[in-house]
Structure 1
Amino acid sequence: MFSDFFINIRWKLFTLQACAGISSMLIMIGAHVWHDYIFSEPNTPNNITETLAHELELLVANVTFQSSISVPILMWWDGFSSTTGLKTCQTSQCLFVDAQKFWRHPQTAGIFFYGSNFKRDRGLPLPRKADVDWALLHEESPKNEMIFNHGGWIQYFNHTATFRQKSDWPLTYQHAPSLALIESRSYWLDFEIKEQLQKDELLADIAYVQSNCDNPMERDDFVQELMKHVAVDSYGTCLHNKDLPNDIRSPEKLGDSEFLRLLSKYKFVLSIENAACPDYVTEKLWTPLVVGSIPIYLGATNVHEFLPTHKSAILIQDFRSMSDLVDYIRTISTHKQLYYSHLAHKTKSVTNGKLVHALQKPVGNLVEEFECLVCRRVHQRMSIANMGFKPEIFKANANHYGCLYPKTALEILNHETNDGSRRSFWQDKYFQSEIEARVLAQYMDRNSNFSLSEYQEVVLRLLKDDKP
Structure 2
Amino acid sequence: MTSDFTVGKPKEESAHKAKEDGSYKTNEKTADNTLKETANKLNKESVPNTKKSQKKDRFGDDVKHPILLWWTYSPGKRPGEYVSCGNVKCYITDDKEYFDHDLTRILMFYGTDMLMNELPLPRHPKHEWGLLHNESPKNNRYWFSHPEIMHMFNYTSTFKRESDYPITTQDVEDIEYLQTKKYYIPLQEKNKLLAKEGLAPIVYVHSDCNVPSDRDAFVKALQKYIPVDAYGKCQNNKKMPPHIDGLLQLQHKDFFKLMAKYKFTLAMENAVCDDYVTEKFWRTIHLGSVPIYFGSPKIKDFLPNDPSAIIIQDYKNISQLADFIHHLNKNDEEYAKYMQHKVQGVTNKYLIDRVKNREWGYTGNRKYYHWTAGFECYACSKMHENLKREKLGEQTEIHQSKQDHYGCPPPKRFDLETESTEQFTVERWNEEYLMTQTESKLLIKWIAQGKIRFKENDLIKEGLKLRGINY
- When normalised by structure 1's length, the TM-score is 0.81
Paired with 1:457 and 1:225, the residues of 2 have a C-alpha distance of: 38
2:452 corresponds to 1:458? no
SS across alignment from 1:237: coil
CA 171–441 in structure 1, closer or farther in 2 if over 3 Å, else same: same
Aligned match of 2:384: 379
2:127 corresponds to 1:154? no
Paired with 1:56 and 1:428, the residues of 2 have a C-alpha distance of: 45
SS across alignment from 1:297: strand
SS across alignment from 1:442: helix
Does the Cα contact within 8 Å between 2:214 and 2:426 map onto a contact in 1?
no
Work out which of the residue numbers 300, 322, 328 in structure 2 matches 1:326: 322
Give the deviation of 1:393 after TM superposition: 1.2
Q: Which runs of 5+ in 1 are unaligned?
A: 1-38, 41-50, 65-69, 415-421
SS across alignment from 1:169: coil
Aligned match of 1:62: 61
SS across alignment from 1:113: strand
Aligned match of 1:44: none
Q: Deviation digits for residues 181-232 of structure 1, max 9, x if unmatched?
A: 3122222223222221112111100000100012101111000001111110
Q: Deviation digits for residues 147-202 of structure 1, max 9, x if unmatched?
A: 11111211110011111111111111111142113122222223222221112111
Aligned positions of 1:79-94 closer than 5 A: 79-81=73-75, 82-83=77-78, 84-94=80-90
Q: Deviation digits for residues 87-123 of structure 1, max 9, x if unmatched?
A: 33223232233233432333321111111001244x2
Give the deviation of 1:276 after TM superposition: 1.2
Paired with 2:386 and 2:127, the residues of 1 have a C-alpha distance of: 11
Paired with 2:58 and 2:433, the residues of 1 have a C-alpha distance of: 46
Task: Give, as a single letter, the amino acid of the residue that structure 1 aligns with 2:83.
Answer: K
Paired with 2:138 and 2:250, the residues of 1 have a C-alpha distance of: 22
Aligned match of 1:426: 429
Aligned match of 1:197: 193
Aligned match of 1:188: 184
Q: Deviation digits for residues 232-288 of structure 1, max 9, x if unmatched?
A: 001111111111123322433212222111111111000000111111101111111
2:76 corresponds to 1:73? no
SS across alignment from 1:425: helix
CA 106–444 in structure 1, closer or farther in 2 if over 3 Å, else same: farther
Q: Deviation digits for residues 352-379 of structure 1, max 9, x if unmatched?
A: 0011112224412222221121111011
Q: Which runs of 5+ in 2 are unaligned?
A: 1-48, 362-368, 418-424
RMSD: 2.5
Task: Give, as a single letter, the amino acid of the residue that structure 1 aligns with 2:434.
Answer: F
Paired with 1:114 and 1:462, the residues of 2 have a C-alpha distance of: 29
Aligned positions of 1:96-175 closer than 5 A: 96-121=92-117, 123-145=118-140, 146-175=142-171
Stretch of structure 1 that moved more, 337-346 or 82-91: 82-91
SS across alignment from 2:132: strand
Q: Which of the pair is proportionally richer in helix?
A: 1
Q: Deviation digits for residues 20-78 of structure 1, max 9, x if unmatched?
A: xxxxxxxxxxxxxxxxxxx99xxxxxxxxxx99x95544973225xxxxx423321112
Task: Give, as a single letter, the amino acid of the residue that structure 2 aligns with 1:124.
Answer: L
Paired with 2:243 and 2:309, the residues of 1 have a C-alpha distance of: 29
Q: How many residues align?
A: 403
Does the Cα contact within 8 Å between 2:81 and 2:91 map onto a contact in 1?
yes
Task: Give, as a single letter, the amino acid of the residue that structure 2 aligns with 1:328.
Answer: F
Task: Give, as a single letter, the amino acid of the residue that structure 2 aligns with 1:424.
Answer: E
Paired with 1:378 and 1:306, the residues of 2 have a C-alpha distance of: 33
CA 227–292 in structure 1, closer or farther in 2 if over 3 Å, else same: same
2:360 corresponds to 1:365? no
Task: Give, as a single letter, the amino acid of the residue that structure 2 aligns with 1:366.
Answer: W
Paired with 2:296 and 2:406, the residues of 1 have a C-alpha distance of: 13
Paired with 1:103 and 1:330, the residues of 2 have a C-alpha distance of: 60
CA 383–444 in structure 1, closer or farther in 2 if over 3 Å, else same: farther
Does the Cα contact within 8 Å between 1:187 and 1:260 map onto a contact in 2?
yes
Does the Cα contact within 8 Å between 1:150 and 1:434 map onto a contact in 2?
yes
CA 150–349 in structure 1, closer or farther in 2 if over 3 Å, else same: same
Work out which of the residue numbers 287, 290, 294 in structure 1 matches 2:290: 294
Aligned positions of 1:179-328 closer than 5 A: 179-328=175-324
Give the deviation of 1:458 after TM superposition: 2.2
Give the deviation of 1:448 after TM superposition: 4.5
Paired with 2:93 and 2:207, the residues of 1 have a C-alpha distance of: 37
- Larger RCO (CA within 8 A; separation ≥ 6): 2
When Rg is computed on C-alpha atoms for both structures, the one with the higher figure is: 1
Aligned match of 2:405: 400
Paired with 2:307 and 2:450, the residues of 1 have a C-alpha distance of: 51
SS across alignment from 2:176: helix
SS across alignment from 1:104: coil
Paired with 1:352 and 1:79, the residues of 2 have a C-alpha distance of: 35
